[in-house]
Amino acid sequence: MPEDLKHIADDYRWGFRDEVEPELALKGLTPETVRKISEAKGEPAWMTEFRLKALEAFFKMPMPKWGPDLSALEQKLDDFYYYVKPPSRGPAESWEEVPEEIKKTYERLGIPEAERKVLAGVGAQYDSEVVYHKIKEELEKKGVVFVSIEEGLKEYEELFKKYFAKIVPPTDNKFAALNSAVWSGGSFVYVPPGVEVEVPLQAYFRVNTAGFGQFERTLIIVDEGAKVHYIEGCTAPLYTTEALHTGVIEIYVHKNAHSRYTTIQNWPTNMYNLVTQRAIVEEGGYHMWLDGNLGSKVTMKYPSSILKGRGARSEVLSIAFAKTGQHLDTGAKLIHLAEDTSGQIVSKSISKGEGRSSYRGLVKVSKNANRARANVECDALLIDPESKTDTYPYMEINNETAQIGHEATVSRLADDQIFYLQTRGLPEDEAAALIVRGFIEPVAKELPLEFAVELNRLIELEMEGSVG
Amino acid sequence: MTNRLEIQDLWVSHDGQMILKGVTLTLPLGEVHALMGPNGAGKSTLGKVIAGDPTYQVEKGRILLDGEEITDLSPDERARKGLFLAFQYPVEVPGVQVANFLRLALKERLGQEPPITEFYARLKEAIELLDWDEAVLSRYLNEGFSGGEKKKNEILQLMVLRPRYAILDETDSGLDIDALKVVARGVNSMRGPAFSALVITHYQRLLNYIVPDVVHVMMNGRVVKTGGPELALELEKRGYDWLKEEVAGA
């Protein structure tokens, strides 16, 4: 292993690799690849057409001219595998039916155990396809749908068609176009009116093939007065070649519905993670994006909430931890289209070594959104002198009655704080880790327990020997 | 076993300037000593150096705790050996709850997780004695605390962590008389054969409530006089000038 990857390998406990031979692997970005993906999935003609159009749009659109440097990625776009089908016969409903090698991976990641203990349903994706999908029976009886996106298209085509690509159209941005062309895997969730799913549904994304691009697509529809919490986690083995993850998440929150989407990405630090997440929130509805970015080489992700109905509310809470070799360009968008809508953005970023974290956010209030309220708080913590952070807060306020607040702070790990904690008996490393944990506490306290534990472990590991 | 904190001919500089110029002082376990002196005498510096503040440079001399030299130990190693510094300006640590922090610190001092019932018993006892509300335990460490609350929080930590040697660095500054009494009550509750305190103060006022066994006076980086509690009263009455002359004349 090259020297620069050794440090990552030491810290990255999910970097193991499985010996799984794919059934089908498609390399290169061409209409041929797109047609083959569609064919392998047995899709209706309209979807094949949709994919091909999206590919055209992708080729026409320029690379983003802002944010992190993607030139190395651009050079490599033809070298990725765009579809890798694991040897499984579609989503199994029992772990026994999942191929042994793949099952072992999920066991090492603790997924079946978490499913038994704390989750209402689990979806597990391996490279391009969902290999396991299961929801608790009582929820199924209430009409809750939690299946792979492919099954969603097959079994619920009318509902699927009504929402798919309506919240994030292919032309939204270059990487949404790419995902629209080659999407594979992801979840389809429908919660019927008034049904409250009290424990979370979880999807787990695992990449195994080297030089692979994962393009999952998730569509969540929360009907009137319904409630759901969806969690997504991601890891991959560590390869010397770079990888690409480009997801599209669409969420429709109907009147008075309540939804929450939690992602913790812990990709290895040679992954490009370029994701589009957007929710539309109707009257009286509420949506929370809880976004944790720990891994990846480059992340560009700005979860957005379009507050479409009167009194709609949204919160976007995020944590980013950028280490040497990482540029995490994350943020949030709040689009207020109706009266009395309110939104809150809390962004906590930590930069360590030569890591760079950027906050990029937009608050937009339309002309007729009377009494809209939005509050933005972005705080950056720098661990080392060479650590970097920057802030790009955009505001477009077109209504005089709107109340908008913005607060940004940049702080350094302070020697006086460390000395103070040391005089109480905490060793220097632990003092530093405690300060970092305290810094992200307002967001971290919202995390599901197992993610909070994992995050603490990561902070402790990162702060070892980092001061003094 | 020599149960005492000893400072032997300590010379300390900061930014190239000599601040302590040969301090010698002994604090036997079980006693409370006051350290007085005019502004700039080096009292707070001495407190911080004993605790291991890395921004100061020890040029010469030794600090011994129960006969063991601690001059080169890190602040946390000293703390785990039973030392505590109540800060003159306690530091804010956002996002870290007081109770959670105290549990971590106690764990480090004991070398193991404190039994949960004992831990809460200690917390409860301290809170009651300090006339405080348990709500403080879930607040973030010193964040948004008033000056008085910060000082009270230092004494809360002192009472829960139960060090053998405590240095109180101007804990009285900025306190009104009622808060001063509460803080003194906390310190006095700790007094006994297994507890010592070095009470650094500019004024005699605090010493009405925490009556010291011995009073030291520092001037210009050295301890120039040591006496009984009556020395504090004399300084209150006559100021420091007569002592300056006495030192200059000697």
d(C-alpha A347, C-alpha A442), whole Å = 10
Q: Are A240 and A209 in contact (CB under 8 A)?
A: no
Q: Which pairs from B74-77 meet CB under 8 Å and 24+ separation?
A: B74/A422, B74/A427, B74/A428, B75/A419, B75/A422, B75/A423, B75/B51, B76/A422, B76/A423, B76/A424, B76/A425, B76/A426, B76/A427, B76/A428, B76/A431, B76/B108, B77/B52
- Other beta carbons within 10 angstroms of residue A465's beta carbon come to 9
Verify whether the Cβ–Cβ distance B79 to A423 is below 8 Å. yes
Which two tokens mark B15? 């930014």
Write the burial class of residue A116 (CB in 10 Å: 0-12 exposed, 13-18 middle, 19+ buried): exposed
The share of chain A scoring above pLDDT 90, in percent, equals 65
The percent of residues in chain A predicted with pLDDT above 70, rounded, is 94
Q: In the structure encoding, which two tokens stand for residue A80, read together? A: 């990725």
Q: Average per-residue pLDDT in chain A? A: 90
Q: How high is the pLDDT of residue A109?
A: 76
Cβ neighbours of residue B248 under 8 Å, at least 6 residues apart?
Answer: none
Per-residue pLDDT tens for A329-381?
999 999 999 999 999 999 999 999 999 999 999 999 999 999 999 999 999 99
Are B95 and A428 an interchain contact pair (Cβ–Cβ within 8 Å)? no
CA atoms within 13 A on the CB side of A348: 18
The model's confidence at residue A10, banded by pLDDT at 50, 70 and 90, is low
Nearest CB among A420, A422, A426 relative to B104 is that of A426
Q: For an interface test with A, which of B85, B93, B101 has the most A Cβ atoms less than 10 Å from its Cβ?
A: B93
Token pair 């000082």: residue: B151
C-alpha distances (whole Å) from A137 to each of A90, A182, A224, B41 are: 20, 32, 22, 76
Supply A287's token pair: 């949506």
> Is A334 inside a domain boundary?
no
Q: By the 8 A CB rule, do B157 and B149 touch?
A: no
CA A269-A353-A431 angle, to 5 degrees, is: 110
Distance CA A323, CA B122 (A): 40
Instruction: Report phi then psi at B48, rounded to 5.
Output: -65, -40
pLDDT in tens, B2-11: 899 999 999 9
For A29, the 3-state DSSP assignment is coil
A426 in B contact zone (CB under 8 Å): yes
Q: Does A424 sit within 8 Å of B161, measured CB to CB? A: yes
Mean pLDDT of A265-279: 91
CB contact under 8 A, A438 and B96: yes
* Domains in chain B with CATH codes: 4-89+164-249 (3.40.50.300)
- How far apart, in whole angstroms, are the C-alpha atoms of residue A159 and residue A179? 20
- Using one digit for the tens of pLDDT, what is the confidence trace for A22-54? 878 888 899 999 999 999 999 999 999 999 999
Q: How far is Cα B196 from Cα A212, in angstroms, rounded to an integer?
A: 65
B51 interaction partners in chain A (CB closer than 8 Å): 423
Q: Greatest CA span in chain A, whole angstroms?
A: 69
- Searching chain A, which residue's CA lies closest to the CA of residue B143? A438
**Does A352 reside within a domain?**
no
Write out chain B residues lying below 8 Å of A443, CB-based. Answer: none
Is the pLDDT confidence value at A85 over 90?
A: no
d(CA A432, CA A426): 9
Nearest Cβ partner for B75 among A422, A434, A440: A422
Could you say which DSSP state residue A172 is in? G
**Which residues 393-422 of A are in CB contact (within 8 Å) with B?**
414-417, 419-422
Identify whether the C-beta of residue A452 lies closer than 8 Å to the C-beta of residue A444: yes
| B93·A417 Cβ contact <8 A | yes
Give yes or no for a contact between A18 and A205, defined as CB atoms under 8 angstroms apart.
no
A439 close to B (CB below 8 A): yes
> What average pLDDT score do residues A101-111 get?
79
Tracing tokens 């409903």 back to the chain, one arrives at: A93
Beta carbons of B55 and A440 less than 8 Å apart: no
Q: Which of A110-114, A426-430, B68-72, B140-144 has the lowest mean pLDDT?
A: A110-114
Q: Any CB–CB contact under 8 A between A427 and chain B? A: yes
Own/partner contacts of A416-421, CB < 8 Å, gap of 24 or more, are A416/B91, A417/B91, A417/B92, A417/B93, A418/A467, A419/B53, A419/B54, A419/B75, A419/B91, A420/B87, A420/B90, A420/B91, A420/B93, A421/B93, A421/B101, A421/B105
pLDDT tens, residue by residue, B118-153: 999 999 999 999 999 999 999 999 999 999 999 999
Of A402-406, A456-460, B146-150, B195-199, the least confident? A456-460
CB A440 to CB B85 under 8 A?
A: no
- Average pLDDT over chain B, rounded to an integer: 94
pLDDT at B17 over 50: yes
Mutation site, B76, B89, B155, interface A, largest A CB count within 10 A: B76
- pLDDT for A412 beyond 80: yes
Packing angle between helix A45-60 and helix A31-40, nearest 10 degrees? 150
Residue A438 has its nearest CB partner, among B87, B93, B157, at: B93
Are A369 and A354 in contact by the 8 Å Cβ rule? The answer is no
A156 lies in a domain? yes
User: Which stretches of A143-258 are DSSP H helices?
Assistant: 149-155, 157-163, 174-182
Tens digit of each residue's pLDDT (9 = 90 or more) over A215-239: 999 999 999 999 999 998 876 666 6
Question: What average pLDDT score do residues B74-99 get?
Answer: 97
**Mean per-residue pLDDT for A264-275?**
89
CB contacts < 8 A, A to B, total: 83
DSSP, collapsed to helix, strand or coil, labels residue B9 as strand
Determine the Cα–Cα distance for residues A185 and A124; give it in Å rounded to an integer.
9
Angle between helix B147-161 and helix B98-110 axes, rounded to 10 deg: 30
Cβ separation B96–A424 shorter than 8 A: no
Rg (CA), chain B: 18
Q: What is the dihedral of CA A71, A74, A79, A82, to 10 degrees?
A: 130
pTM: 0.87
Q: Answer yes or no: is A457 within a domain.
A: no
Q: At A2, is the pLDDT very low, low, confident or very high (cuts 50, 70, 90)? A: very low
Reading the block at residue B227, the tokens are: 């006496």
| pLDDT over threshold 70, residue A146 | yes
**Token digits for B90?**
């306690």
Domain total in chain A: 1
User: What is the model's pLDDT at position A202?
Assistant: 87
Q: Characterize the bridge pairing of strands B57-65 and B68-69.
A: antiparallel
Q: Sort residue B95 into left (φ over 0), alpha (ψ -120 to 50) or beta.
A: left
Q: How many CA atoms lie less than 13 Å away from A138 in the CB half-sphere? A: 7
Question: CB B85 to CB A423 under 8 A?
Answer: yes
Side-chain-side CA neighbours of A254 within 13 Å: the count stands at 16
Nearest CA in chain B to A420: B91
Task: Give the closest-approach CA distance of B92 to chain A in angstroms.
Answer: 7
Return the higher-pLDDT residue of A264 and B16: B16
Min CA distance, B3 vs chain A (Å)?
20
Looking at beta carbons, which residues of chain A come within 8 Å of B92?
A: 417
Beta partners for residue A133, in sequence order: A123
In a domain, A313, yes or no: no
What's the gap in Å between the CA of A212 and the closest CA on chain B? 39
Q: What are the tokens at A16?
A: 């193991």
Taking an 8 Å cut-off on Cβ atoms, the answer to whether B96 and A435 are in contact is: yes
Gap from A438 CA to chain B (nearest CA, Å) = 4
C-alpha A115/C-alpha A231 separation (Å) is 12
Q: Is residue A364 part of a domain?
A: no
* pLDDT recorded at residue A16: 67
> How confident is the model over A163-187, as a mean pLDDT?
96
The 3 state secondary structure assigned to B123-137 is: HHHHHHHCCCCHHHH
Encode pLDDT of B203-235 as tens digits.
888 999 999 999 999 999 999 999 999 999 999
The token duo for A57 is 């749009």
Q: What strands, in cross-sheet order, belong to the sheet with B196-200?
A: B83-86, B165-169, B196-200, B32-36, B214-219, B222-227
Taking the C-alpha atoms of residue A308 and residue A336, their distance in angstroms, rounded to an integer, is 7
Mutate to test the interface with A, among B83, B91, B100, B164 (most CBs of A within 10 A): B91
Do A423 and B90 count as a contact with CB atoms less than 8 A apart?
A: no
> Is pLDDT larger for residue B198 or for residue A238?
B198
At residue B58, the pLDDT reads 97
Where are the extended beta strands (E) located within chain B? Answer: 4-14, 17-28, 32-36, 57-65, 68-69, 83-86, 93-97, 140-141, 165-169, 196-200, 214-219, 222-227
Contact A420 B87 (CB under 8 A): yes
**pLDDT band at A289; cut points 50, 70, 90:** very high
Asked whether the predicted pLDDT for residue A9 surpasses 70, the reply is no
Which residues make beta-bridge pairs with A347? Answer: A318, A378
Task: Answer yes or no: do A424 and B79 touch at CB < 8 A.
Answer: yes
Interface test with A, best of B85, B96, B157 (most A CBs within 10 A): B96
Looking at the domain assignment, is residue A61 inside a domain?
yes
In whole angstroms, what is the distance from residue A347 CA to residue A319 CA? 6
Closest CA of chain B from A463, distance in Å: 17
Task: Please tell me the predicted confidence (pLDDT) of residue A233.
Answer: 82
Indicate yes or no: CB of A422 within 8 angstroms of CB of B79.
yes
Tell me what the mean pLDDT of segment A130-150 comes to: 88
Give the distance from residue B96's alpha carbon to the nearest chain A alpha carbon, in angstroms.
Answer: 5
Task: Flag if A423 and B75 touch (Cβ within 8 Å).
Answer: yes
Quick one: average pLDDT of A425-451?
92
Contact predicate A340/A371, CB 8 Å: yes
- Does residue A164 sit within a domain? yes
For the cut 90, the answer to whether the pLDDT of residue A15 exceeds it is no
B54–A417 CB contact, under 8 Å: no
Residues of B with Cβ-Cβ distance to A452 under 8 angstroms: none
> Which residues from B are below 8 Å from A427, CB to CB?
74, 76, 108
Q: Which residues of A touch B52 (CB under 8 A)?
A: 422-423
Nearest Cβ partner for A438 among B54, B76, B95: B95
Distance CA A145, CA A135 (A): 8
B9 vs A448, residue with greater confidence: B9
How close does chain B come to A430, measured CA to CA in Å? 10
- Name chain A contacts of B105, Cβ cutoff 8 Å: 421, 424-426
| Host H or E run for residue A94 | none
Provide the H-helix boundaries in A109-248: 111-118, 137-141, 149-155, 157-163, 174-182
The residues facing A278 across adjacent strands are A250, A304
Contacts of A439 in chain B (CB under 8 A): 94-95
H runs (alpha helix) in A310-365: none
Q: Which residue of chain B is at minimal alpha-carbon distance from A432? A: B93
In this predicted structure, the answer to whether residue A142 has a pLDDT above a threshold of 60 is yes
- Please name which of B174, B170, B179 lies closest in space to residue B152, comparing C-alpha atoms: B179
Instruction: Name the residue of chain B whose CA is nearest to A434's CA.
Output: B96
Chain B residue whose CA is closest to A439: B95
pLDDT reported for residue A134: 84
B74·A442 Cβ contact <8 A: no
Q: What's the domain range around A131?
A: 3-301
